[in-house]
Chain A
Amino acid sequence: MTITKTIFSGFGGQGVLVMGYVLATSGMHDDKHVTFLPSYGAEVRGGTANCTVTVSDEPIASPVASFPDFAVLMNTPSLVKFEEGIKAGGIVFLNSDLVELKPKRRDIQVVSIPINSIAERVGNVRSANMVMIGAFIQKTGLVSLKSVIRSVKSIFETKGSKVHKMNTLAIEQGSAFVK
C-alpha cells in the first residue's frame, strides 16, 4: 500500500473535518506524505461537510479521490453520495446510530459502529468522531495510534486535560469495538 485515500463525510457539526485533520496530522507525524482537502464553499457552513485525506509513501499528485480506499460516513446522505465511488475491496465505516440504509454493494467491506452510543457512554456525544477515528485506525492501520493521540492532544490543546482524557478514552473505545 503506497497511496491511500479516505473520504470523511457527514453533517456540519459532527466533527468530520476534525477527523480528516487528525488523520492527516497523524500521517505527517508518521513521516508520510499527506494532503487534506476540505470541500469548500457555501455548503460547508452548516450543511453537509466532507474532506479527503491522502496518506502516501510517495509524493501525492492529486489530493482528490475519485475512488477512495476508505469512506467514513457519518449520516445517511453521505452513504447515498459516496457509496458508488468507493474502490472495490475498500472499507466503508458507518455511524450505525444515524445511518438508516445499508450499503448495496457487495464488493466493499462494511464496518458499522454505534459511535454516538459509545460516545455517550464515554461521557459526551460530542466525542463520537473520536470513537470513529479509534475504530478507523484499528481497522486500517493507516497511521499509528501514538501519532493519533499526539495529534488529538495538540488539536485540542486549549480545551484542557479533561477533554483530552475523554478524547483518548473515546479513541480507545472505538478501537476496542472493532478489535
Chain B
Amino acid sequence: MDRRLMCGSHVIGEAATRAGCRFYAGYPITPQNELPEYMSKRFAKMDDAIFIQAESELAAINMVMGASMAGVRAMTSSSSPGISLKQEGISYIAGMELPAVIVNIMRGGPGLGNIAPSQQDYFQATRGGGHGGYRTIVLAPCSGQEMVTLTMKAFDLADAYRTPVLVLGDGLMGQMMEPVTFPDPIDPAATLPQKDWVLDGAGGRDSRLIASLILDPIDMEQHNWKLAGKYKAICESETRHESYLLDDAVLAVVAFGTAARIAKGAVNRVRKAGLKVGLFRPISLWPFPEKELKALSSTIKHLLVFEMNLGQMVEDVKISVGEQATVDFHGRPGGIISTPHEIAGEITKLIYRYDTG
C-alpha cells in the first residue's frame, strides 16, 4: 500500500474527495487553512467538483446547504469561532434533513481565544450547537489514518440518515503529519444511491420543496417526533469506541481525540510500572457510547476523564455510569497539550487514592 506523509487537514480533504465529496465551500481561519487550500487544488483538477472560497462562514455553510439540496456530497470546514457562525445553517440543514459534513478543527477559547489545540467545543458539537433541539453525529478521530476512515464514514452517515455530521479535530490533529493510506476513490455518480428528494427541476413530477418552516404546531411536533425517531436509530446503531487494555484494568482513562492519544501514552507508561490501567476512547461523541461505558463500569470502578477543556464530556461519562464507578476529571483548557507523563501522574495519584494498586 502506498503510504503518504500528510497533515491532518490534507488527509481530511483527500478522504472527502475519495468519499465522493464534490462541493466544498469555506472561509480562512487558523488552524484549518490547509483544508480549503487542499480542496481548491484538488478540485481544480476535477471536472465535476466545485470549490468556493466564500465571503463568510455564514455564506459557506449556506452554499453547502444549497449544494446538498442539489444532491451532491458537500462539505465545509472551519475552526471554533467560525463553527459558531455556521450554527444557524447547521440547524436548518438538520431541520430540512439534508446530508452535509462539517469539519471543526478546534482551537482554544472562548471568544477569539488562540490557535492552539483544544477540545473546548465538545458541548457545542454534541448538543446540536445551534437553535431548535437538533443533534449532529460527531466523529472524533485521533490519528491521521482514522481521519481517513471517519471522514469517509461521515459522508455515508450523512447520506444514510440525511443529517449533518461533524468531524471534530483540533489544531494538533489538523497540523500533525502522519503516514496514511487511502482506499480507492468512489465514483459518486456510479456508486451512490439516487436521492429521490433533490431539487433538480420539476420535470415529469410534482414540484418539490425542501424547507424547515412548519407553521402548524401539530405538524411541527410531528416533524420533531420524526427527527427523534431518527436520532434514536442513530443512538442504537452508530456508537463507536475503542477499548485499550481494559480486560484486567482497575482504572480506565476516558478520553477522545488528541487527549486520548496522550492518555494512551500515559497508560503504556503506567503499565510498565505494573499498574492495571486501560483506556476507553469514545470515537462517536454523539451518539455517546453510553451503554458500552455503563457495561464497563460494572467491572472497572474508577474512571479518570481527561479532556483539553474544563470538563464537558465528563458530564456524559457521569450520566452513563451513574453511581457504578467513581468519576474523576483532569482538564487542560486554553490550548495546553498535556504530556503522557503528566497524565501518568494523575493516574498514579488516583490509584493510590482509591488504594487499588
Contact = CB atoms under 8 A, between A and B. Distances in A.
Given A35-B176, A40-B30, A61-B264, A28 B5 contact: yes
Interface of A: 21, 24-25, 28, 34-38, 40-41, 58-64, 66
Interface of B: 3, 5, 7, 30-31, 115, 171-172, 175-179, 261-266, 268, 337, 339-341
A41 B30 contact: yes
Contacts of A35: 176-178
Given A28-B3, A40-B31, 12 more contacts: A36-B7, A36-B176, A36-B178, A37-B172, A37-B176, A40-B115, A41-B30, A41-B115, A59-B264, A61-B262, A61-B268, A63-B172
Nearest to A62: B262
Given A40-B31, A62-B339, A34 B265 contact: no
A36 B262 contact: no
Given A24-B5, A62-B337, A66-B339, A38 B266 contact: no
22 contacts: A21-B5, A21-B177, A24-B5, A28-B5, A34-B179, A35-B177, A36-B7, A36-B178, A37-B172, A37-B175, A37-B177, A40-B30, A41-B30, A41-B31, A58-B268, A61-B262, A61-B266, A61-B268, A62-B337, A62-B339, A63-B176, A66-B339
Nearest to B180: A28
B148 to A, nearest CB: 15
Contacts of A21: 5, 177
A120 B154 CA distance: 51
A24 B177 contact: yes
A36 B115 contact: no
Nearest to B175: A40
A58 B337 CA distance: 21
A62 B261 CA distance: 6
B265 A61 contact: yes
Nearest to B178: A35
A40 B261 CA distance: 20
Contact of A36 (B177, B265, B339): B177
B107 to A, nearest CB: 10
A111 to B, nearest CB: 26
Nearest to B268: A61
Given A34-B5, A40-B115, A41-B115, A64 B179 contact: no
Contact of A61 (B30, B31, B261): B261
A34 B178 contact: yes
A35 B353 CA distance: 35
A28 B1 CA distance: 12
